[in-house]
Structures are given as C-alpha cells and as structure tokens.
Structure 1
Amino acid sequence: MARLNVKPTRMELSNLKSRLVLSTRGHKLLKDKQDELMRQFINLIRENNLLRDEVEKELTASMRSFVVAKSLLNEAFIEELFAVPGTAVELDIQEKNIMSVVVPQMNFSIVDQDEKSTDLQYGYVNSNGELDDAIKKIEDILPKLLKLSEIEKTCQLLADEIEKTRRRVNALEYKMIPQLQETIRYIQMKLEENERSSIVRMMKVKDMGVS
C-alpha cells in the first residue's frame, strides 16, 4: 500500500493519527448505515415481490373478465364508455426519510368529474356481468398499484444509496485507512531512526570531549 506523501514530523504524525481516528469512526458509522439500509431493502424487496404477485394475479383476472365482456358487447359501446372518465385520480406525494434517503410516500383520492355520480354511466341492456366485474376489479387494484409503485421507487432509491455507501466504506477500508496506517508507521520509524542518530551523535561528541 502506497503511503501518503507527507513530511515525517511529529506534527504530521499527530495530524495523521487524528485523521485515522476520524476515518475509523466514519467507517464504522457508514458500515452500520449500510447494514441497516440492506436490512430495510431486503424487507421491502420481499414485500414488493408478494404485492407484485398479488397485483399481477388480480390484473390477469380483471383482464380476463374484460376480454369476455368485450367479446359479448359491441366494441363501439365499450369505446364510448371509456372515452370520457367519470372520475379522476388526485395523487399526493409526500416525502419520508429512511437513513438519510428521501423516499416518496404516495396517497391518492378519487375526485368526481360529475358530482351526481362516481360511477361509469352505462345502460344495463348493453352491458353484462363480466364488464361490471372487470371494472370493479380494476378499481380495487388501484390502491395496490399505487403501493407497488411507492415500494419499487423506494427500493430503487435505497439501492442507489447502498451502492454509494458501499463505495465509501470500501474506499475507507481498503485505501484511506491502510494508507494512513502505513504512513503513520513510516513516520514513527523515521522519528525513531532520527532519535537514535541524535543519541549516537551526542555520545560521539561526549566521547570527543572526554578525550
């Protein structure tokens, strides 16, 4: 490991020792942060996988009902039915902090476009049970889809932060701290060597004076 290019003085040795203490403390804090981020990330991944499986199954069921309904109804009627939505979704995105990572917290509400009714307007003569079932299932999936989006975005942000933290931990563990330790050993050896040389010179001067 290459040492730092510094002068071997006692002042520099003291500064390097202080930097080593600070780097070691920072390494521990970052390692603890990395471990906690990984713990929360793994928990979120598990929750994400379960919710995704659930959402995919419900979406498949709703699409199956819609395909059956579409095969039994006039296509023009279905297009007209969904051309102008009767409701709108308002999304409110808040922020929360997870180990210094700002992640989204999403809430939504359904706002009526037509104050008289929150439902799609269509006649029962031209519709069937499969269409009603498909619409109901899709409406019920909305909160889960929103939650899934929130979790996946949080996982993405946590993964980015974990990678940044890992690079910092590795930089301290495998580069900065070893460099400081190597430089401190070098300066200590140099100072000890200089001290021995000074003692030898003093002894020679003393011997010359005695003679």
Structure 2
Amino acid sequence: MSYLQRVQPTKLQLISLKRNVAVSKRIRKILEDKKEVLLRELTENVEKAKSIRRKLSEDLLGAYEHLLAAYADMGATKLDSIAGSTRGRLDVEVRVKRVMDVRIPVLVMTGGASTARYGVVDTSPELDEAVRKLSSSLADILKAAEVENTIFRIAAELKRTQRLINALEYIIIPKYERDIKLISTILEEREREEFVRLKKLKYVIEGRRAQR
C-alpha cells in the first residue's frame, strides 16, 4: 500500500488531521503543565531530603556519642546484655497520597514508638540519653524513607512525561502537519485540474453552440 493510499488525501481526512493536531497540542500543553508541577515537587522533596538527612545525621551522631559514653561507664558486657534482653516496638501505617496521579506511600507512626525497657539500676544516664535520641530519630528515619521514595517515583513519572512530550513534539505533531501539507497540496492541485477541465469543457460547449 502506497503512502498516499494510507493517508487518504480527502477533505474529510484533512479536517480529521487538523483536529488531531489541535488535540495533540492541547495534550502537549497539559503534559507540559504536569511537568512543571512535577519539577517543582521534585525540587521541594530533594531540599526536604537534604534537611532531614542533616538533622538525622546530627541526631544519630549524638546518640552514638552517648552510646560510646555508656559503654565506657557500664562496660561492653553489661550493655550488650541489656541490648540482647530488651525489645522495642514501632507501629507504622502506610497511607497513600497522590501528586499529579503519582501514588506516593506515606509512612505514619501510629501511637508513637515503644522504646526498649530496661532496669535503671546500675545503668548510665548516657544510655538513657542515647535511647531517647534514637527513639526521637525514628520519625525522621521514616520521613527520610518516605521522601526518598517520593523523589524516586516523581523522577520516574517526570521521565515518562518528558518522553510523551517529546513524542508529541518531534514525532506525532510533525507527522500530522506533514500529512496536512501533503493533502492540502494534492487537493489544491486537484482543484486546479478541475478548474482547467471545466474551463476547457466550457469552451467546447460554447464552440458547439457557435457552430449551430
């Protein structure tokens, strides 16, 4: 099948192609708006992730320093025994929010963290402070995981959106416009040929009338 047969150079096809171009351009505009929102969300979450990581790093470093002090005060054997005999609990609920149709898991602590319980007799205040700092860091650890997952998902959607924009911009719309130009040229040529044919027919008819 030839290219012209596939294109079907008719006025109806020309109207259809022009409509397709208009729709494609509207879709491209919607996708470009979506891209702007995704870029803004991505930038905000990257900055948020940096901030959370800085705070988390400081808090965990502080907890580690207190833990080292507790080791010095209590000894490794006793501290390891406490660590092995106690258990904490963290209840987390996973919810979902949407950012431009991107599903983002949200991690929510329900009821707070239940820290490990141990006897306070013959324990160091440094251990208490280390446990307190670690417990307070749990929410930030969850938030860091949530934000980094958000960044990954938004980046993936941004990449997909850009591919669609590129397809419309460089493949689909240009093809429609080439087809429109080709069909318009063919129809104009047909109109000229028809005009010439009718003009010749008119001369023939007028000539026959003159001979009568």
Structure 2: how far apart are the matches of 1:16 and 1:129?
A: 77
Equivalent residue letter for 1:52: R
Greater C-alpha radius of gyration = 2
Aligned-partner SS, 2:7:
coil
CA offset digits 1:125-172 (Å, max 9, x no partner): 2x2222222111101111111111111111111111111111111111
2:127 to 99, 118, 131: 131
Aligned 8 A contact 1:41 1:158 in 2: yes
Deviation at 1:13, TM superposition (A): 0.8
**Match of 1:76?**
77
1:174 to 170, 174, 186: 170
Aligned-partner SS, 1:94:
strand
Structure 1: how far apart are the matches of 2:94 and 2:194?
A: 71
**Match of 2:118?**
121
Aligned 8 A contact 1:101 1:157 in 2: yes
Instruction: Describe how 1:200-211 pairs up with structure 2 within 5 A.
Output: 200-211=196-207
Structure 2: how far apart are the matches of 1:168 and 1:26?
A: 10
Aligned 8 A contact 2:93 2:108 in 1: yes
Aligned-partner SS, 1:166:
helix
Structure 2: how far apart are the matches of 1:72 and 1:26?
A: 67
2:178 aligned with 1:143, yes or no? no
Bigger helix fraction: 2
Instruction: Describe how 1:54-65 pairs up with structure 2 within 5 A.
Output: 54-65=55-66
Aligned-partner SS, 2:119:
coil
Structure 2: how far apart are the matches of 1:77 and 1:3?
A: 87
CA-atom RMSD in angstroms: 2.2
Aligned-partner SS, 1:108:
strand
Higher relative contact order (CA 8 A, sep 6+): 1
Equivalent residue letter for 2:72: S
TM-score (norm 1): 0.89
Aligned 8 A contact 2:91 2:110 in 1: yes
Structure 1: how far apart are the matches of 2:189 and 2:43?
A: 53
Aligned 8 A contact 1:86 1:112 in 2: no
Range with greater deviation from structure 2 (65-74 or 92-101): 65-74
Equivalent residue letter for 2:10: T
The sequence identity of aligned pairs, in percent, is 27
Structure 2: how far apart are the matches of 1:147 and 1:37?
A: 20
**Match of 2:210?**
none
CA offset digits 1:171-199 (Å, max 9, x no partner): 11111111111111111111011100111
Deviation at 1:5, TM superposition (A): 4.4
1:154 to 122, 143, 150: 150
Structure 2: how far apart are the matches of 1:178 and 1:140?
A: 57
